[in-house]
Amino acid sequence: MTELRTREAALAQLGSQAALQGVFCKTETGIRHMMQVVMQYEDTDFSGFVYHANYIKFAERGRSNFLRLAGVEHSALLQMQPPLAFVVGRMEMDFLAPARIDDCLLVETVFTQFRGARLLAEHAISRQTASGDSEPIWQAHVLAACVDLQGRAKRMPKTMLADLTPYQGTAILAPPK
């Protein structure tokens, strides 16, 4: 049996940054965000494979958690004048291998550009094996934009760019075809 913690210690661990939002790390290609997602029954389709649309949800969590940890919260964007939001304008993805129930997936997110209203991101999702290796599962290039609530592109505020720029990384995926 694993060591059992007190309720307070367990809640403290659950509330840790890494458990909820993932972490930033520095690599040879710059800064990236990493978080883990364990595949549950609800993530799979009738075949037992992870349903294809769920990879987009995992990438969105990675993107949102990246922004939150960098100091940009979606709820704060809505409080700005004018209220702002992020929208995805384009996503190019590749399904490389199927994931299954109980797989522990690593979701990695890198923002490669913050300019004007544009944000360019890359996502890589891999399966973590017992031996510590990883197997690529899914990847995507994403173009997002900062918009007002009428859907018009708006330059990101200078304070937001100042928060995000230190976390910009370089490409981790091959360029889209």
Active-site residue set: 45
Q: Which of 74, 168, 69, 71 is nearest to 122 (CA)?
A: 168
**101 close to 45: Cβ distance less than 8 angstroms:** no
CB-based contacts of 31: which residues, under 8 Å, 6+ apart? Answer: 24, 25, 110, 166, 167, 168, 169
What is the rounded distance in angstroms from the CA atom of residue 127 to the CA atom of residue 137? 7
3-state secondary structure of 11: helix
